[in-house]
Amino acid sequence: MSRQETERKSTIKAVARKLFKQYGFRKTSLDDIARIAGVTKTTLYHYYPNKEAIFDDIVYEDALDIFNRIDANLDAALPADKKFIQFGRLLLKELQAHAEELKHVPENLIEYSPHGRPIIEKIKLIFRQRLESILQEGIAQGIFQSPNVQITLDALVAMGDFIRMPWLIDNPPEYCQQVFEEFQRLVLDGLRTREK
């Protein structure tokens, strides 16, 4: 892709992000995006086959940004159990920041806002990848035990489903932090290698 094409795609995405945040997914049309981005609909279709593809690209990019910030602040020198705790705290902090942004957004827009339910789904996919790395590291260090890593990951992701935007919005950050830390304690107690 040429520099001009990259810039054009970036402009389309920036306009779409703004419109999705302001009006939500359903009320934003491809016509609106093309008009405000200063491109024809044909040009827009060159980069994205439909509105869902633009939305998905935005959500995935935002989810990656969250994990890039987490990775930048995660202490690689920590043992896996401590890294697990730090990883969880950094993730909760990022999600709480998103919840704060959504406090003034009408509830019907949260479902289709780039920072609503869709980003949580993308975060779960990336979360699983990052968590697998920490889990494998902990097993190699003799800190964690898991007879089946994939099943353990499925269980951890399923248990983490309680973290939803409405829950983060409706509860004080301190309470969310306490619940999350108790969740981490319970999980770590189950993962740690037992003395025989």
Range 55-191: architecture per CATH: Orthogonal Bundle (1.10)
What's the pTM value of the predicted model, to 2 decimals? 0.76
pLDDT tens for the chain, 196 residues long, are 899 999 999 999 999 999 988 887 888 999 999 999 999 999 999 999 999 889 888 878 887 888 899 999 999 999 999 999 999 899 888 888 877 766 655 555 455 555 556 666 777 788 889 999 999 999 999 999 988 999 999 888 887 776 776 778 888 989 988 988 898 888 888 888 876 4
Check: CB of residue 21 under 8 Å from CB of residue 60.
no
Residues 6+ away with beta carbon under 8 Å from 81: 138, 143, 144, 188, 191, 192
| Gap between the Cα atoms of 105 and 48, Å rounded | 27
Distance between first and last Cα of the chain: 59
| Gap between the Cα atoms of 125 and 129, Å rounded | 7
Instruction: Write down the domain spans for the chain.
Output: 3-49, 55-191
CATH 2.60.120.10 fits 3-49, yes or no: no
